[in-house]
Amino acid sequence: MGKSKTKQTLPLHKIIMVGSGGVGKSALTLQYMYGDFVEEYDPTKADLVLDGQECQIDILDTAGQEEYAAIRDNYYRSGEGFLCVFSVCEQESLEHTQEFRDQILRVLDDETVPFILVGNKVDLAHLRKVSASDAGALAQEWSCQYVETSAKTRQNVDQVYTMLMRQIRDRKMKQQNTNNPDKDSCCVIL
Ligand code: GDP
Ligand code: MG
């Protein structure tokens, strides 16, 4: 009982995976959560320690339902940070990231939302179609980070989730800090 009470008070970071079908959104989530490279899994919530502080992560891995705009928009609204995944082996999947980015910004109306562009499947070097510099240029346009991953070898998998959680946490702290002193100063200025 004590444990579940603690859980409720842990900071919760809500991450949403977006990207074309087949780019590896589920494989990355699984590799991060279970340390395995498998195909089937359940929705994912877990406790972890981020920079010495206990917290919870909740990963929503979108998978096709996003074709219904209303459902998709609700997903996006519930997210605090986004991993926008494409496959470095598929140029078209990089092009699609623009659509995901546009949809997210339209729903959230906030360009500063924690967001990382993820080029997955870098283990398939011989099949690579998208260069790091092309993807990096797009990320620069969006003022976000670009990270290359492999859900198969686990390259940068932990890193990309950790980076995003830090962005989410820092942003929440900033928002708290700006909310509280603001309120105070409003009261003080008479
Ligand atoms: P999703 O539709 O974005 O969730 O994509 P999945 O996670 O289902 O992955 C689609 C296919 O790509 C599956 O067969 C995965 O095993 C494979 N896959 C995903 N990530 C990687 C990766 O990093 N490297 C390799 N070699 N295959 C991957
Ligand atoms: Mg999937």
Q: State in Å: Cα 84 to ligand 2 middle.
A: 13
The CA angle 12-148-42, to the nearest 5 degrees, is 45
Please indicate whether residue 30 or residue 187 has the higher confidence score (pLDDT): 30
Q: For residue 80, with 0-12 CB atoms within 10 Å meaning exposed, 13-18 middle and 19 or more buried, which class applies? A: buried
Distance 190 CA to ligand 2 centre (A): 56
Q: Indicate which ligand has the atom closest to the C-alpha of 18.
A: 1
Residue whose entry in the numeric block shows the structure tokens 């279970």: 34
Question: Which long-range contacts link 132-141 to residues 24+ away (Cβ below 8 Å)?
Answer: 134/94, 135/86, 135/88, 135/94, 138/94, 138/97, 138/98
Q: In the chain, what is the greatest distance between 2 CA atoms, to the nearest angstrom?
A: 68
Report the nearest atom of ligand 1 relative to the CA of 37: 16
Q: b/e map of 135-158 (b: 16 or more CB within 10 Å)?
A: beebbeebebbbbbbbbbebbbbe
Q: Which two tokens stand for residue 29?
A: 């989530």
Report which bound ligand comes closest to the CA of 43: 2
pLDDT the model gives residue 91: 98
HSE-CB at 111 with a 13 A cutoff on CA atoms is 6
Out of 29, 36, 37, 148, give the residue to mutate to test ligand 1, the one with the largest number of ligand atoms within 8 Å of its CB: 37
Please tell me the distance between residue 158's alpha carbon and the centre of ligand 2 in angstroms. Answer: 18
- Lowest-pLDDT range, 70-79, 98-107, 127-136, 137-146? 70-79
Q: 26-60: buried (b, 16+ CB within 10 Å) or exposed (e) per residue?
A: bbbbbbbbeeeeeeeeeebeeebebeeeebbbbbb
Return the residue whose CA atom lies nearest to atom 24 of ligand 1: 121
User: Is CATH 3.30.465.10 correct for 12-179?
Assistant: no
- Percentage of the chain beyond pLDDT 70 is 84
- Which residue has the least CA distance to atom 11 on ligand 1? 22
Q: Could you give the angle at which helices 69-78 and 91-108 cross, rounded to 10 degrees?
A: 70
Residues in contact with ligand 1 (CB, 6 Å cut-off): 19, 21-27, 120-121, 123-124, 150-152
Domain layout of the chain by residue ranges: 12-179
Could you give the CA distance from residue 160 to residue 18 in angstroms, rounded to a whole number? 14
Q: In a mutational test of the pocket of ligand 1, which residue from 97, 129, 152 has the highest number of ligand atoms less than 8 Å from its CB?
A: 152
pLDDT tens digit string along 79-135?
999 999 999 999 999 999 999 999 999 999 999 999 999 999 999 999 999 999 999
pLDDT of residue 64: 66
> Which H or E run includes 109?
none
For the question of whether the overall pTM of this predicted structure is more than 0.85, the answer is: yes
pLDDT at res. 176 = 85
